[in-house]
Structure 1
Amino acid sequence: VKKALCVLVQHNLVSYQVHKRGVVEYEAQCSRVLRMLRYPRYIYTTKTLYSDTGELIVEELLLNGKLTMSAVVKKVADRLTETMEDGKTMDYAEVSNTFVRLADTHFVQRCPSVPTTENSDPGPPPPAPTLVMNEKDMYLVPKLSLIPIPDDGIYWQANLDRFHQHFRDQAIVSAVANRMDQTSSEIVRTMLRMSEITTSSSAPFTQPLSSNEIFRSLPVGYNISKQVLDQYLTLLADDPLEFVGKSGDSGGGMYVINLHKALASLATATLESVVQERFGSRCARIFRLVLQKKHLEQKQVEDFAMIPAKEAKDMLYKMLSENFISLQVGCQ
């Protein structure tokens, strides 16, 4: 049982805490278990962003749960050397540089560790260690020299929340491209890229960015003038979906990505698509109306959706029976 618990804790599938009576309690992290289904997507994303070296780094961390940087670099370099021809070998420094880039962009992070205490009490050790993590050290990479090992005791893990943030940003960019055009989506992509490290994954908005900063950060070779950029930013800020908001006028105008509104719009579009696929376009029209108006009586549904009373009643019942809409008695 102890070995099984060690493996589960190593992979963050189980957490523990010391109870007041000194008993250690363990809890299964079901959400983390379900994330294992996304491991192939995490690995493929890293391959897309950081080539084969980044792919293998994240793969090793996911397979082992937690590893020191030196262990990861050695494993990855050895695996890449096996695939090379003519007796070539993979340079450890190249793997190390890719690891540093992953840490700089927060795709890998340090694991919490047991705090070091000098002259600790000679009494019995606690039933379980208390792990702490200094936020400023979370992505700090030690200087690496494999002999001797200077990073002994500093373990790293894949930052799955950062991958989910990347997936969210991709979905927002894709939605803007579908609604407007490729240039608009590239501007939004640039804003999200500028904010990916400075903005928490749970924040409602990105950090404010000036028009001048956005212009300087556009991809090399993306030939649009500052005036055209300002026009696009104005269009994005005036769009009813409000993916982009204006928060000030300094620096040519300050802009933010409204992350919560963007995600709500994406979720709404997905719901509407599911309703249309399951019940048809007329039901989707009714569902869209209820979303917009919040509350509607059956007669109002018939009038607004321009659907005969009997059909409207049948469609409402279908969606009600499958919990896509709910009935509120006595709503005025």
Structure 2
Amino acid sequence: MSKSQVNLCKLIIRENFAEIAEKLCSILLEVGPCPLKYLVFQSGFKHEQVKKILACLIYQHIVKFSPNKKGYVEYNINVDIILCRVRFPYFIYTAKTLYGDASELLVEEILHRGQDTMDNVVNKVTERLNDALEASGHPKISSTLVRDKFHSLVQTHFIQRCLTPVRDTSGKVVSLGTAEDVEIRHVIPDKAKKRRNSDEPPSSKCQRTSGNSENIQWQVNFDRFHQHYRDQLIISGMVNKVDKKASEIIRTMLRIGEVSSSPDALSTAPISINEIFHNLPKDLGITKPILEQYLSVMCDDSEFVTRSGDSGGGIYEINVYKSLTALCKSHIQSVVQERFGSKSLRIFRILLLKRHLEQKQIEEYAMIPAKEVKEYLYNMFTNGFITVTEVSKAPDHAPSRTFYLFTVDIQQVARMLLERCYQALSNAMLRREHEVKEHRRLLDKQQRVEAIIASLDQSGVDETQKAEVEQTITPAERTQLAKVKHDINQLDQCEIQLDETVFLLQMYLFYCRQNCQMS
């Protein structure tokens, strides 16, 4: 774990849980798995205080625990879950886009609580929706509608059961997760459902899922949201590569592959052209000959789609690994152009295409003078974007008898950019924290004024009184408030874009590891 990643995790914990939790997480980040007594000793907090902090972090799935070889319970921190907290707004927005406002509130409520029972979440969301509907003059809704949305999120694996606690002989919980959790994590016990035939013996799965459903804890499935985020990146990449209709074809193939493909597979399951055609939206107006042309173009001009067979008019699959590789290369090339210029980008692309080249060969291919090529290569080499391989003709490695081959290691560059993104994300969060702290008095004053105006609106007073309250904020303060809000919004947008790049680089490196394991 790098220093920039550790610093970013500390900032996220401090922003979400306060400084006392940050100190405890700092110990876990620096030391690794450790028992409760060691955490109490290193932190200097009281025993009960440390236990409460750990309970809160375990409830948020940030801290994990398991028995070590000696039987003592050790606590460990989950860095991936901490970094996911930056992505929470995207999770909420995705739920709203796919299933509506009720699903948005359901995901938001579970993310806020970490985990909770279905009844508690549904009742809370129903109450919030009815309060909003009542304030706007619309009729209230029943909890059945919200419960149906909850079921939809579970069926599509966006929400799942929490792991089952494992207890020792004395009844204490020592770890989480049993062998049966894999089968029942996305199953909702239906108390109202009765077997049609009372003589029919219940299956083993029914017996496992027919427990007390009121006590079952549910959590957000981050992996499922990441899979959706990954698919959206591939679809957006196809829009830029071909056009919007091609992206809809990719969207259809990904939707079909969700059921039959593993989320971590390097490519989706093979899909026939007939299946793709029947699942395409009818309003696109794509006929089968046009679909064949699109698939042919995507197979020839992009690395996203490959043809794996000829039966049934053609069998196609989306190569997720190659798609993410192409997107990662595109991001890296954008960075090279912004930092070093268009000529450096030309050299970088030639190295990507030809793999290994000497300086003289680069001059010929790029059609750039030798002096400039030397300067561009040196700048990219010192910044870690290209590497040099020495191939000596003789054992003494004399410079006159050695070839110096320039190349690009995409994985190495991706790791370097990921570290820089972590650092940039930390800087943006620190700057936003500074802006809020610097103008805290003014922001608090605006909130108080807005609260007073809202209460006046409810009591039905005239506009004169509201105008008097609004005038408590001077024109100079309004100008300063507008500037502060603009700066904070820009920093928020910066964090979102940085997190998108972080996610793409993380996904690419993950699939690189998967590809190495497969090969």
Which whole-Å CA distance do the structure 1 matches of 2:373 and 2:96 have between them?
Answer: 50
What pairs up with 1:96-111 in 2 under 5 angstroms? 96-111=147-162
RMSD of the TM alignment (CA)? Answer: 2.0
Please give the residue correspondences for 1:121-160 in structure 2 after superposition, counting only pairs within 5 Å.
123-125=169-171, 128-132=174-178, 133-143=180-190, 150-160=212-222
The Cα offsets for residues 50-103 of structure 1, whole Å up to 9 and x where unpaired, read as: 111111011011101111112211111111011013473221111111111112
Q: How many residues align?
A: 323
Of 219, 226, 245, which residue of structure 2 is paired with 1:164? 226
Picking from 335, 341, 353, the partner of 1:292 is: 353
Q: Cα 1:191–1:299, aligned 2, differ >3 Å: closer, same or farther?
A: same
Work out the CA distance in 1 between the residues paired with 2:181 and 2:292.
40
The one of 62, 66, 77 aligned to 1:28 = 77
> Is 1:268 matched with 2:329?
yes
One-letter identity of the residue aligned with 2:341: G
Cα 1:204–1:29 shift into 2, 3 Å: same
Q: Higher helix fraction: Structure 1 or Structure 2?
A: 2
* Code of the aligned partner of 2:160: Q
* Alpha-carbon distance in 1 for matches of 2:78, 2:140: 40
Deviates more, 1:261-270 or 1:87-96: 87-96
Change (3 A) 1:197 1:106: farther
Structure 1 gaps of 5+ residues are none
Change in CA separation of 1:136 and 1:125 when aligned onto 2, cut-off 3 Å: closer
In percent, how many aligned pairs have the same letter?
45
Partner of 2:121: 72
CA deviation profile, 1:129-151 (whole Å, cap 9, x unmatched): 44225323221122267xxx951
Q: Report the CA distance shift for 1:108/1:44 in structure 2 as closer, same or farther (over 3 A).
A: same
Cα distance per residue 1:247-273 (max 9 Å; x no partner): 222333221100000000000000000
After TM superposition, list the pairs within 5 Å mapping 1:21-60 onto structure 2: 21-60=70-109
2:57 match: 8
Q: CA separation in 2, counterparts of 1:142 and 1:323?
A: 54
Instruction: Give the Cα–Cα distance (whole angstroms) in 2 for the partners of residues 175 and 277 of structure 1.
Output: 20
Which residue identity lines up with residue 268 of structure 2 in the other structure? Answer: T
Look up the equivalent residue of 2:131 and give its one-letter code: E
Q: State how far apart, in whole Å, the 2-side matches of 1:251 and 1:58 are.
A: 41
TM norm structure 1? 0.91
Residue type of the partner of 1:190?
A: T
* Equivalence for 2:284: 222
Q: What is the rounded CA distance, in whole Å, between the counterparts of 1:88 and 1:217 in structure 2?
A: 37
> Map of 1:182-221 to 2, 5 A cutoff?
182-221=244-283
What TM-score, normalized to structure 2? 0.59
Q: Which moved more, 1:263-272 or 1:149-158?
A: 149-158
Residue 128 of structure 1 aligns with an amino acid whose one-letter code is V
Q: CA deviation at 1:115?
A: 6.2
- C-alpha offsets along residues 226-280 of structure 1, whole Å, 9 cap, x if unaligned? 22222222222222x3211112223332211000000000000000000001110
Counterparts of 1:196 and 1:77, CA distance in 2: 30
Question: Does the alignment pair 1:258 with 2:315?
Answer: no
- Partner SS for 2:177: coil
Matches within 5 A, 1:277-316: 277-316=338-377
> Per-residue displacement from partner, 1:271-323 (whole Å, max 9, x unpaired)?
00000011100011111112222222111111111111111111111111111
Instruction: Give yes or no for contact 2:166–2:173 (8 Å, CA) kept in 1.
Output: no
> What is the deviation of 1:184?
1.1
- Cα contact 1:24–1:127 (8 A) shared by 2: no
**CA distance, structure 1, for counterparts of residue 256 and residue 278 of structure 2:** 11
State how far apart, in whole Å, the 1-side matches of 2:364 and 2:191 are: 71
CA contact (8 A) 2:245 2:284 kept: no
Tell whether the 8 Å contact from 2:163 to 2:177 is kept in structure 1 after alignment: yes
Supply the AA of the counterpart residue of 2:146. V
Amino acid at match of 2:217: Y
CA distance in 2, matches of 1:295, 1:104: 49
Where do 5+ consecutive residues of structure 2 fail to align? Answer: 1-49, 193-210, 393-402, 404-519
SS in 2 for 1:296: coil
Give the greater-gyration-radius structure (CA).
2
User: 2:264 aligns to what SS in structure 1?
Assistant: coil
Deviation of residue 126 (structure 1)? 5.3
CA contact (8 A) 1:236 1:244 kept: yes
Q: Is residue 70–residue 144 contact of structure 1 (8 Å, CA) maintained in 2?
A: no
- Distance between the aligned counterparts of 1:127 and 1:103, measured in 2? 26
